[in-house]
Structure 1
Amino acid sequence: MPRRLSTGVGQVTKPIPSVLYKYRDFSARTVAMLCNDELFYADPSTFNDPLDAKPCVEADCDIPTLEKTVLELVRRRVEAEMQAGAQTLKYKGPKTLAHIDKHSTTAAQRRLQNLAYHATNPEYADAGPNAHARLLADEIEQELLLQYDKGILSLAKRYACPLMWSHYGDQHRGLCIGYRVPQAAQSQLHQVKYGGSRNVQASTVAAMLSGDTDARAIVDSTVLLRKAQAWRYEKEWRMLGPHGKHDSPLELAEVIFGMRCEDTVKHTIARALDRRDKPIKLYEIHKVPGTFQLKRRRLNVDELGASYPKRALSVAEACEPVTPSSE
């Protein structure tokens, strides 16, 4: 029976693949991921799609609600930034907390005053009476991007996708890493949704800030798990976490090498993984004759290892030295 995950939105459940894949080039980071059981959570601003993780906020509520939402978003952000700074400097105590609370609230109120002033700018005349609401919605949108400053690990459902090999597997010169999903990690996986709208209603953001868990799920999904329909071929699943490399909650299960991957790379990876507690399955991709389909087959590690290590002098050493003629 397939394992299933609750999305938190309308209690819809979706199957979790038993193995998920990460297409990679052969690099120092890839070797570290394999040898150290590390995963790298990328900054969404580095993604090849500039619309990925970029929501659009709709001003669907009145000015007081929009202002309250901006106030709370800015206050929370400034408070978190100041708390992080105080922790670094080892400042603590009630006076420090009171100063942080006062400064974060003041900063949020000042931001609201600036937005109200800019709404009177003649440049916004075309927006009519909605200029102030539009500026507040834009501010909520920017603050959401700051609030959701998370790293994303992208994983794929399939290992034999030609486009994925071309785009992310260094045109078949790289490899594809397969990870099993243990029970403890299932709740950390989220399936990407394709198509639809990037819009999120300001009223939903306001409800999220008030503690509404359903609203939180809707905002999370719109901000972090929505992509254009054209990316559907990726069949992507995501894990969220702080930016950078972290210990993997997934279990390394297999490595699949691309059709153009060098034998030296295969040998290096095979040797690096041959003493793990749980054996790692090694495969290589090959084409299906007469089709555009790809399949995998087990890598013959013994046959590959028989050729390495290799020395250029070994051929010359195997030959008998030529004795100069006495004539």
Structure 2
Amino acid sequence: MPLPSRLYKYESFTAQALENLKNHSVYFASPSCFNDPYDCAVSPGVKEPSDRDVERIRNYYLAKADVPENARSQFERLDVASMRAMLLRQGQSVLDEAVKEFLSTRGVTCFSERNDSLLMWGHYGGRFKGFCLEFRTDCPPLTKARQVRYAEEMPQVDLIPLLCSDEEDSREVLDLYCTKALDWHYEKEWRCMHDKAGTLYTYPAEALTGIFIGPDAAFASFEILALIIMNQNPGVQLWQGRRSQSEFSVEFEPVTYTPHLEAKRLGLLPRDA
């Protein structure tokens, strides 16, 4: 699926979320603290390579000038069956080490295709009292967002892209960190990854295009969000959520905000208000 033009980030109404909004920042957290115990910690297996794949990997390493002599000797003398067993052991070791390294160092920040999911509002939007940010995906870091794939079984990785790539992270390995159990499919998630966990990334102001406010958010929460935005992102549209009366859903309508003193000056409020 192509990258959608907009993605959404649910937030609880907390001091940290407000500070991040004020600073145009998103936080790349370590996946080790996520609520899914398998998130970025899947236990992938390695697909058994065909005879043709074994020979392709053998030729790849024999053509490399920097292969140690003892390894080169093995590639030259082992038969296909012995090579296959060795490659499976090596591939699994590389895979296990990659997952371990990712969990210990990398950061992840998550977005959704939807802004009206009841489950997302309940789990990540402060139980309908928080807010949801709308981002353009043609601005960093969302230009590199990857879609999460939902599966019933643990993934398996092909050996060729795993062992025959000079890149630090092959696409096959990166896909592991974007694979979750089918139970989480309601999230419609896309995610961005950073080399270092605990990084606060500053996005360009024009990346933020809207703020959707939960249907149960207090008016004071709405005012705080509106005051932050009007002083730094006047082009951002505010949307007020409400519970639909006809179906199980959250509906939004655009709203504007006039500060108290300005409303008083314009005669929209009594003088003693």
Q: Give the TM-score taking structure 1 as reference length.
A: 0.61
Verify the 8 A CA contact 1:57 1:140 in the aligned structure 2: no
Distance 1:276 1:143 in 2: 44
Aligned to 2:46: 58
Distance 1:282 1:186 in 2: 21
Distance 2:33 2:159 in 1: 26
Aligned to 1:199: 156
Verify the 8 A CA contact 1:25 1:175 in the aligned structure 2: yes
Q: 1:266 aligns with which of 222, 227, 240?
A: 222
Distance 2:30 2:96 in 1: 16
Distance 1:186 1:307 in 2: 36
Aligned to 1:79: none
How do 1:283-294 residues align onto structure 2 when only pairs under 5 Å count?
283-294=239-250
User: What is the CA-CA distance between 1:235 and the residue it aligns to?
Assistant: 0.9
Task: Please say if 1:282 is aligned against 2:238.
Answer: yes
Structure 2 letter corresponding to 1:205:
L
User: What is the CA-CA distance between 1:307 and the residue it aligns to?
Assistant: 11
Query: CA separation of 1:234/1:59 partners in 2, compared to 1, >3 Å: closer, same or farther?
Result: closer
Structure 1 letter corresponding to 2:197:
H
Task: Please say if 1:163 is aligned against 2:119.
Answer: yes
User: What is the CA-CA distance between 1:133 and the residue it aligns to?
Assistant: 8.6
Distance 1:172 1:307 in 2: 29
As a proportion of its length, which structure holds more helix?
A: 1
Q: 252-261 vs 268-277, which deviates more?
A: 268-277
Structure 1 letter corresponding to 2:150:
Y
Describe the SS at the equivalent of 1:289. coil
Structure 2 letter corresponding to 1:21:
Y
Aligned to 2:72: none
Query: CA separation of 1:239/1:306 partners in 2, compared to 1, >3 Å: closer, same or farther?
Result: same
User: What is the CA-CA distance between 1:136 and the residue it aligns to?
Assistant: 5.8
Verify the 8 A CA contact 1:191 1:225 in the aligned structure 2: yes
User: What is the CA-CA distance between 1:279 and the residue it aligns to?
Assistant: 1.8
How do 1:1-327 residues align onto structure 2 when only pairs under 5 Å count?
14-55=1-42, 56-58=44-46, 60=48, 139-148=93-102, 149-182=105-138, 187-195=143-151, 197-208=154-165, 210-211=166-167, 216-221=170-175, 223-241=176-194, 242-244=196-198, 245-248=200-203, 251-276=207-232, 278-302=234-258, 305=260
User: What is the CA-CA distance between 1:37 and the residue it aligns to?
Assistant: 0.5
Task: For structure 2, list consecutive stretches of 5 or more residues without a partner in the other structure.
Answer: 55-67, 69-84, 265-271
Task: For structure 1, list consecutive stretches of 5 or more residues without a partner in the other structure.
Answer: 1-13, 66-104, 106-130, 310-317, 319-327
Verify the 8 A CA contact 1:178 1:254 in the aligned structure 2: yes
Structure 1 letter corresponding to 2:27:
F
How many correspondences in the alignment? Answer: 228
Distance 2:157 2:260 in 1: 55
User: What is the CA-CA distance between 1:184 and the residue it aligns to?
Assistant: 5.9
Verify the 8 A CA contact 1:254 1:280 in the aligned structure 2: yes
Distance 1:176 1:170 in 2: 10
Q: Give the TM-score taking structure 2 as reference length.
A: 0.72
User: What is the CA-CA distance between 1:306 and the residue it aligns to?
Assistant: 7.1
Query: CA separation of 1:21/1:183 partners in 2, compared to 1, >3 Å: closer, same or farther?
Result: closer
Distance 1:183 1:22 in 2: 15
User: What is the CA-CA distance between 1:27 and the residue it aligns to?
Assistant: 1.1
**Identity, % of aligned pairs?**
24
Distance 2:233 2:174 in 1: 37
Describe the SS at the equivalent of 1:301. coil
User: What is the CA-CA distance between 1:259 and the residue it aligns to?
Assistant: 1.3
Structure 2 letter corresponding to 1:232:
H
Verify the 8 A CA contact 1:59 1:137 in the aligned structure 2: no
Distance 1:284 1:29 in 2: 22
Describe the SS at the equivalent of 2:27. strand
